Structure 1
Amino acid sequence: MGIVWLIIIGAAAGFLATRFMNVQTGVVETVLIGMAGAVIGGLVLRFMLAFMGAIGGLVGAVLGAMLLIWAWKAIRDS
């Protein structure tokens, strides 16, 4: 069930992050961005806040995915 939950949260986070950052990606890229963002955001939030639960995970995943998109755009455009 953990993998399924990670894919669902990753898809939601990737979708939100790509819309907030105005990036056009395919379904697979969106899910991968969201999953990577979930890992990044989860680590950051665990160290910075004691924020638990599904909403906290989604917020962290979206923030992490947005950070990943920003870094990707910065590297790609340079």
Structure 2
Amino acid sequence: MGFIWMIIVGLVAGLLARAIKPGSDPMGWIMTIILGIVGALIGGFVASAVGINANGGFTGLIFSVIGAIILLFLYEFIMSKRHV
């Protein structure tokens, strides 16, 4: 059940990050889930660096979305440099 929960939270975090961050992010459902899961890893790192326990719950979701937004900005930055 843990793997399914991870996919669901990844999807929610990815969708929220794509809704909050301005601009066009053309990606499908699978990439949105991956965005949310990797965003959760980045968000967990940020939370631990600040000294906040973000293991699950609402705080974990917030930091997952923050991590996914950071990842979206990095992706956009890398892709803009590639097309120049």
* TM-score, normalisation: structure 1: 0.88
**Number of the residue aligned with 1:2:** 2
Question: 5+ residue gaps in structure 2?
Answer: none
Higher relative contact order (CA 8 A, sep 6+): 1
Normalised by the length of structure 2, the TM-score is 0.83
| In 1: Cα distance, 2:49 partner to 2:5 partner | 22
Instruction: Tell me what 1:63 maps to.
Output: 66
Question: Which structure is larger by alpha-carbon Rg, 1 or 2?
Answer: 2
Deviations 1:35-69 (A, max 9, x none): 00001101110221324441011001100000000
- Structure 1 runs not aligned, ≥5 long: none
Number of matched residues? 78
**Map of 2:80 onto structure 1:** 77
| Identical counterparts, % of pairs | 35
What residue is the counterpart of 1:44 in the other structure?
46
